[in-house]
Structure 1
Amino acid sequence: MNQKDIVVAVDIGTTSTKSAAFDPTGHIYAESAQEYPLYSEVASRAEQDPEEIFQAIMKTLSDVVASMGEARARIAAVSFSSAMHSLIALDREGTPLTRSMTWADQRASLHAEQLKATAVGQGIYQRTGTPIHPMSPLVKLLWFKDEDQETYQKAAKWVGIKEYAFFRLFGTYVVDYSIASATGLFNLHTCDWDAEALALTGVPKEKLPEPVPTTQVIQGLNKADAEQLGLPADLPFVVGASDGVLANLGVGAIAPGTVACSIGTSGAVRTVVNAPTTDPKGRLFCYALTEDQWVIGGPINNGGVAFRWARDHIFPDLKAGSEDPYEYLTQLASEIDPGSEGLLFLPYLTGERAPLWNADTKGVFFGLTLNHDRRHMIRAVMEGVMFQMHAVVAALKETGVDPQAFRVTGGFTKSLLWRQIMADIFERGIHVPETPQGSSFGAALLAMKALGILNDFSTVEEIVAIGHRHTPNDEASQVYRKLKPIFMDLAEKLTPDFKALSAVQRDLGQKQ
């Protein structure tokens, strides 16, 4: 690759698609984003229109290609990143019979609960690395089988959103190992569809895309799309991977002991391993990055959403003015000592995924006394999110991972206090990349490896510059060391009460 050779990465997200042009150093030459709606006419459903997403891909990719043409830079390849767990039913012509069910769709909750309680479900998890949860296409297919026989019988293909895009562009059905390994249908050890999982759903492998490596190159872009995009039909398109595993690559968290943590609305903890690894207790996922590298970890539901809830409901009197309300809340929290004088917050406002995988969990303030005020509550919320992230780290440790350093990204990194709380609770160094590119840059790096520009990913950690570093405060860590086991025990002990309360809340909701 010469200095002007560029790789364009397309990142298909839950709320928008972004395209960006990178060189091997991570410099962005051009970028474009297009949002689209999430449809939720029924509370348990969270869907998107495949056509709207495809048009967003075409629009953002066209924008970036045009910018590169003006800069006279040669595009060497296009690569893809995508959100996981989507599912679309297609007819024989490849026309969608359904919208795209996203990871947030909960209609298969009962099917997940029933399967999770069986030895069959546990066996499928151990082979596929996908926790039994309504997010997974495995469980969504069970829902279609039982609840929508008409669509189930008509469907000629079942695909995710990235596979749908590749079908539209190339007329072929392929799925990368990474996205496939997030379906609950893909055997991590054979790198093929799992026979028992397929038998359970009743869907033959012929109705699924062909699994291919994440570095698979596809050429032969259909003529009309090539003309619309301004690209040659024989330009290499790299199939790419899921946004989660590519985020590790994009922030340089690929060495043993280096863990990537991100907190936006939700959060995630991930690290790279050299062999498929699952958790005997079913708390962690394991997804493919390449044929010989895998990412294990877990997502949490409640990250920045908990802080926003605290702003809106604990501080409803706060008026946004010249001062950032989050900075004001952080300042109030900084007036309280670590540990919030023994006040704990379980941040389960939207249920929880890792390591609990329990949609019935609820938010809880535990330990309130007359000495606590709103400052304690806001700090407890910030600490509660980090305690939950650390619970995923603790599960990783039990599987044999030895975390030594954490590379962290997301909106929470704007807060010096929150970053320090993480370092103190995790009791490890926290590194904040200077300009985190995340999944998009990861997709570009994957393409560079596919084209032979990079022999391996050993130099990626050096490419990603670190902007902030935090070391643990021993005094604060000692306080958190006493609180962590109490926090982790609470959710387990409250499990039956969470379930009972959920039933009451559903009943009350139906009567309103």
Structure 2
Amino acid sequence: MNYLIGVDIGTSSTKAVLYDQDAHVLNQANHGYELHRNAAGMAEQEPEEIINAAEQAIHDVAAKADLTQGKLLAVAVSSANQSLLLLDKDKKPLSRLITWADSRAQRAADNLKMMTEGQQLYLKTGTPVHPMSTLTKLLWLKSDEPELFKKSAYFADIKAYLFYRLFHEFKVDLSIASCTGLMNIKTGQWDSQALDLAGITTDQLPEIVSGTTQAIGLIPTAQKKLDIPANTPFVYGAYDGALSNIGVGATKQNTVAITIGTSAAVRVVTDHPVIDPERRLFCYAIDDGLWVVGGPLNNGGDVYQWAVEHLVDSSAVKNENVDPYTLANHVIEGVPAGSHGLLFHPFLDGERAPLWNAQARGSFFGLSQIHTRADMLRAVMEGISMNIATVFQAVRALVGEPASVTATGGFARSQVWRQMLADILNCPVNIPDSFESGCLGAVVMAMKSLGMINNLDTPQNFIGNFSSYQPSAKAVKVYQRYTPLFQQVEEMLAPAYSEIAKLQERQNK
């Protein structure tokens, strides 16, 4: 038996999955780390903790492979995008890793939006102007941390840094580079206008390579930690969202992939760049003439977790002897679509698509004496889904009517949420039995790199079985009335977001 390993470097943990050559899952390991929020807007991580977690996860699953009777064909890597690590001349960290969730570049993003360059760069890079992007992070650091910025000899994302630590080569895959706001999506090279604005040079950034590029020749210390053959190919892969599409087989323009985990995303793969004239969506390169169009949302399962923690009666949980999420889902099933006329806007942590406003805030709208905690719970789940639907509608308007949606993430543990998503989108929703789409997508990219397959269309037998949910005509009718109102209320509240955010910041100091 021959083996492949898919690695997914996430915001809260790194996971490694061991596959056989037919993409059957044999084993997996997961190692977590802390997200530091020591200041307003901060979302940083210790790079050494992530490197250790990745090395340990690879070691743990590789130990389950019988390499006396088979071969480890490759390790392929997925990672979250839009992270930034400042490095000195010896490529040692000068900072913690600044993640996509860090919003301290808000002022830099606001300034760039008002500049002609902001519109020009969106058209060239496909990256919306927002604090998440590497470009705005660099603008913020140049302005607010000038000494640190001047000390920085190199700038990297977490995956480029991992490969440097394993192989002493400084490269970044096309997909991750495309998410930075610094790469021209038509040329596949660093954009000179973006670099000039950021105040950096090409020499300070990793070399952009294809996602199927292999790194071979682990340095001795890394080989010892991983305990795998030193000549094992490591494939650069892509960013986690693109690989999730590949991992669920959503590589055609008529299939939309939706992820609802801690955050959420809507994505569709195209064979040409598609730029949204309203600047609601991203367009990133993947590889080999493929692009991914869509929108990331800050507020997904984390908002539902907040609602369960605050709205589920702890005494009922104890009396029913069930976990709070099981009880919440049961309660939600008993509330009709529309939550008796209650809307919830889930912007507890600002919002990326479709608002691109880090100061957006959440709200209930329509509260009256008739409403209960059960109504509020369902309204929260509906609000998360309606927000996703606004991005879905933008994607549909740009690339055409989808035949189906493939959805993954922790939300899929809830049967009521699966059906609700189909109803709100008014589109069939397919849920794969396996949720490890990012790791599988990385392995598919490794297989292409090794010549085992010809393209990134994931074979159906790799993906496994689906559960399908058809829209309910009755519920669709309800949501077709509520979703436009959801959008109308959001537009009405938008002018007040910055003021309430300022008041909260002052009060919380």
TM-score bracket, shorter-length normalisation: over 0.9
Aligned to 1:59: 56
Residue 140 of structure 2 corresponds to residue 143 of structure 1? yes
Report matched runs for 1:224-373 at 5 Å: 224-318=221-315, 320-321=317-318, 322-373=321-372
Letter in 1 for 2:205: L
| 8 Å CA contact retained: 2:317, 2:327 | no
| Residue deviations 1:39-58 (CA, integer Å, cap 9, x gap) | 22213211111112112222
Residue 466 of structure 2 corresponds to residue 458 of structure 1? no
Aligned to 1:83: 80
| Residue deviations 1:329-353 (CA, integer Å, cap 9, x gap) | 2222222221122211111111111
Q: Which runs of 5+ in 1 are unaligned?
A: none
Report matched runs for 1:98-247 at 5 Å: 98-247=95-244
| Deviates further, 232-241 or 174-183 | 232-241
How far apart in 1 are the matches of 2:399 and 2:455?
Answer: 24
Aligned to 2:436: 437
How far apart in 1 are the matches of 2:279 and 2:21?
Answer: 37
| 8 Å CA contact retained: 2:312, 2:324 | no
| 8 Å CA contact retained: 1:166, 1:173 | yes
Aligned to 1:72: 69
How far apart in 2 are the matches of 1:347 and 1:318?
Answer: 26
| Deviates further, 422-431 or 364-373 | 364-373
| 8 Å CA contact retained: 1:254, 1:461 | no
- CA separation of 1:53/1:459 partners in 2, compared to 1, >3 Å: closer, same or farther? closer
How far apart in 2 are the matches of 1:271 and 1:210?
Answer: 27
How far apart in 1 are the matches of 2:49 and 2:262?
Answer: 23
The Cα of 1:196 is off from its aligned counterpart by 0.7
Aligned to 1:400: 399
| 8 Å CA contact retained: 1:318, 1:325 | no
- CA separation of 1:200/1:230 partners in 2, compared to 1, >3 Å: closer, same or farther? same
| Deviates further, 157-166 or 301-310 | 301-310
Query: What is the TM-score of this pair, normalised by structure 1?
Result: 0.96
Residue 384 of structure 2 corresponds to residue 385 of structure 1? yes
How far apart in 1 are the matches of 2:198 and 2:148?
Answer: 14
| Residue deviations 1:181-240 (CA, integer Å, cap 9, x gap) | 111101100000011110101101110000011111122222332233233333221111
| 8 Å CA contact retained: 1:18, 1:31 | yes
The Cα of 1:316 is off from its aligned counterpart by 4.9
| Deviates further, 129-138 or 462-471 | 462-471
| Deviates further, 263-272 or 308-317 | 308-317
| Deviates further, 39-48 or 22-31 | 22-31
| 8 Å CA contact retained: 1:251, 1:437 | no
Letter in 1 for 2:34: P
Corresponding residue pairs, total:
507
How far apart in 2 are the matches of 1:435 and 1:505?
Answer: 41
Q: CA RMSD in A?
A: 1.6
The Cα of 1:70 is off from its aligned counterpart by 6.2
The Cα of 1:142 is off from its aligned counterpart by 0.6
How far apart in 1 are the matches of 2:135 and 2:408?
Answer: 30
| 8 Å CA contact retained: 2:247, 2:458 | no
How far apart in 1 are the matches of 2:68 and 2:16?
Answer: 16
How far apart in 2 are the matches of 1:55 and 1:317?
Answer: 38
SS of corresponding position for 1:169? helix
SS of corresponding position for 2:235? strand
